[in-house]
Amino acid sequence: MPAVLDHLHVLKKEKNPADTAEKARQKIASLDVCNVYAIIFGCILGIFALRYIVLQVQYFLLRRQQRARLAALPANEKKGSGASSIYSAKPALLRASDRIDALFSKPVGVWPVASMTWFRFLLLTAIISINIIACLVISVSTRGPVTVNANAARAFSRRCGRVAAANFPLLYSFAGRNSIIHILTGFPYQEIRYYHKVIGTICFLQCLVHTLAYTGYYVQVKGVESLHEEYTEAYFKWGIAAVVGGLVSCLVGLRAFRNRWYELFLISHIIGAVLMLAGSWYHRPIMVPWVYAAVAVWVFERAARLTLHVANRYQSRLVMHNPMLQAEASVCHGAIRLSVPFPSGTWEAGQHAYISFWGSDLLRRPHLYGQSHPFSVANVPDSSAASGDHHLQFVLRIHNGVTRELASIIDRKTAASKSTSCPITISVEGLHGRGPAADEFDNVLLVAGGSGITHVTSILSSVCMKADQGICAASNVKLVWAVHHLDQAQWIDSTLDDCRARADRAGLNLDVQIFVTRNDGEGSGRSTPTGSNTPSVSDELDEKKELPASSSTHIGRAAVHRGRPQVGEVTREFIAAASGRSCVVACGPEALAEEVRAVTNVLAAPTLEVQIAKFEC
């Protein structure tokens, strides 16, 4: 009884003017700190945005100059060293920027951040230390009824909550493929995703510390009864909802969960994000402006995606008149080949689109119906094709979700119609992303694993097509592709044949190396006849299905090896042997992509352009 009275006494005291003044003082201090926090990050991002705008303007002017200089060159000098000298000449500002980029792309080289680039290390250090400082800079003096320690605990827990809220706009700005950060700074999507995860984790930890520290304060200073009393209040429950929202978002974002149940991850992540904002909104009015800001950037991201959707000439036509398309699909050795009519022919190498599948056959599995999945376009518009006769080519590796169901539908349909392909109903959203302008480099190395080949074949096609047209600096192109089974090379056989023919005509040195990593004596599925009369890569593949262990052979003019490629070594050797400027693009499984990244980070130089693409969202 005396204890309860004691607590009531403290509670009563809390309401006294001194305590109210202390609370107001802390509120103002937190507001100041959060404003400074937002200004600091605004400035950091502002610098990156300014840099990006200046560079874009410089590149725009440079491209104009380059086009004019190329046009003035005699036809026989527009490729190879002639074009190379034009593409390599850059104004001082761009040269300086290349040098700085190369410097910051180097790995730190010191444990435990040995493989981290200097850029990531410095930005990460800035984010973490600014957050720690913002949470810890509190006034421990007291003018209220509580002790200094209790006041400090309360101020610290409040501050953590406030700084967590101040992180909301930043966290949501780093989310999504069309994030405002990507648009303003040009940061690649994978880099943006990384900081989204970092800020998300920090934000959740701050919410957690806020909850635990406040709970501790109540238990220690005000008593369990008063904590129980608080619990009955709506603001408290909304606070818990916000923390649970953050926890759910973090947990489902873990790679193991995301890879296994992607659709569930997506839905839960969004629900968690909404819960976090709604919970904070109702938790404390002081959080409302930060919630507004976060909602604004989220709406911006969605609006940007919609705008992209509608702005695309082809897409707008689809949206207005015919959102559904009939694509031609066939199953080919563990993948689905999809040919989608795209009359305008306006896409670039290295782009991807979101495809949704709508056929009535899919209604048997309603959860798959209309799901939207990203896939890279495996080709570029064929300059020799008649206008309006362009097709986007996709290769969809068969996994366990919609792609598996689709494959069995296509199998059934083609078996019934005794044909090799059948129409399926889809809709396409995009196109997103971009590959590097590989044709402007003297040497191009393309490294792919499995279905990662789609991203690099569009780049390969672009280089070979431009070489064929006589407007390409590249003279040396190497493709290294790791596949499980030899017959998977048929996914892109016609593209490879086409590239080979163009490279031969243009005198481009094209070296294709295929590595077959599994030796289980079985192919990856039913072979699909190509219907072509001329011998192609696929014809020879059929003849050489069984590759003897530890051997090398040739198919078409591709060298085929048994075993895994040492992609790090290949990359190192390629760059060491290259003269002039080099471009390296890698796309495939995490290990392969990271091996290439590790080597290119060490060898980072102004003459080296690198793109590491991953099929991860």
Ligand X SMILES: Cc1cc2nc3c(=O)[nH]c(=O)nc-3n(C[C@H](O)[C@H](O)[C@H](O)COP(=O)(O)OP(=O)(O)OC[C@H]3O[C@@H](n4cnc5c(N)ncnc54)[C@H](O)[C@@H]3O)c2cc1C
Handedness of CA 470, 473, 475, 479 (dihedral sign): negative
The residue among 492 and 608 lying less far from ligand X, judged by its C-beta, is 492
- Residue from 315, 376, 414, 495 in contact with ligand X (CB under 6 A): 376
**Could you tell me the smallest distance in angstroms from the CB atom of residue 396 to ligand X?**
5
Question: Does 374 sit near ligand X (CB under 6 A)?
Answer: yes
**Residue environment code for 85-95, b if the CB has 16+ CB neighbours within 10 A, otherwise e:** ebbbebeeebe
Query: Residue 559: beta bridge partners?
Result: 513, 554
3-state SS of the chain: helix, strand, coil percent to 5? 60, 15, 25
Q: Six-digit token pair at 186? A: 């040009």
Question: Interface with ligand X by CB under 6 A: which range of 96-104, 225-233, 505-513, 609-617?
Answer: 609-617
The binding track of 398-427 with respect to ligand X, each residue x by CB under 6 A or -, is -xxxxxx-----------------------
Using the rule CB under 6 A, give the single segment among 301-309, 395-403, 473-481, 569-577 that binds ligand X: 395-403
Q: Which is nearer to ligand X, 145 or 589 (CB)?
A: 589
Residue 396 near ligand X by CB under 6 A = yes
Whichever of 289 and 374 has its CB closer to ligand X, that residue is 374
Is 441:357 a contact under the CB 8 Å cutoff?
no
305 touching ligand X, by CB under 6 A:
no
DSSP characters for 270-318? HHHHHHHHHHHHHH-GGGHHHHHHHHHHHHHHHHHHHHHHHHSHHHHHH
User: Residue 481, interface with ligand X (CB under 6 A)?
Assistant: no
Our finding on whether 259 is near ligand X (CB under 6 A) is yes
Nearer to ligand X, 58 or 494 (CB): 494
In the complex with ligand X, the residue whose CB is nearer, 314 or 615, is 615
Q: Does 454 bind ligand X (CB under 6 A)?
A: yes
Min dist CB 616 to ligand X, Å, is 6
DSSP codes of every residue in 517-585: ---SS--SS-------SS--HHHHHHHT-SPPTT-EEEETTEEEEES---HHHHHHHHHHH--S-EEEE
User: Strand, helix or coil at 432?
Assistant: strand
Using the rule CB under 6 A, give the single segment among 311-319, 371-379, 492-500, 571-579 that binds ligand X.
371-379
- Helices 262-283 and 234-252, axial angle in degrees (round to 10): 150
Task: Give least dist CB 331 to ligand X, A.
Answer: 13
Residue among 102, 71, 101, 75 nearest 86 (CA): 71
Among 24-32, 140-148, 214-222, 393-401, the segment contacting ligand X (CB under 6 A): 393-401
Beta carbon nearer to ligand X, 50 or 254: 254
CA distance 581 to 219: 65
Q: 252-255 long-range CB contacts below 8 Å, 24 or more apart?
A: 253/197, 253/200
> Does 174 contact ligand X by CB under 6 A?
no
Choose between 238 and 257: whose C-beta lies nearer to ligand X. Answer: 257
Name the residue with the smallest CB distance to ligand X. Answer: 401
- Grouping H, G, I as helix, E, B as strand and the rest as coil, residue 50 is helix
- When asked if residue 129 is in the footprint of ligand X (CB under 6 A), the reply is no
CB 203 within 8 A of CB 171: yes
Q: Which of 193, 196, 397, 581 binds ligand X (CB under 6 A)?
A: 397
Shortest CB 173 distance to ligand X, Å? 20
Q: Cα(234)–Cα(290) distance, rounded to whole angstroms?
A: 20
- Which residue type sits at 380? V
Stretch that binds ligand X, among 113-121, 146-154, 396-404, 512-520 (CB under 6 A): 396-404
Q: Does 167 bind ligand X (CB under 6 A)?
A: no
Residues that bind ligand X (CB under 6 A): 258-259, 262, 352, 373-376, 395-397, 399-404, 451, 454, 615-617
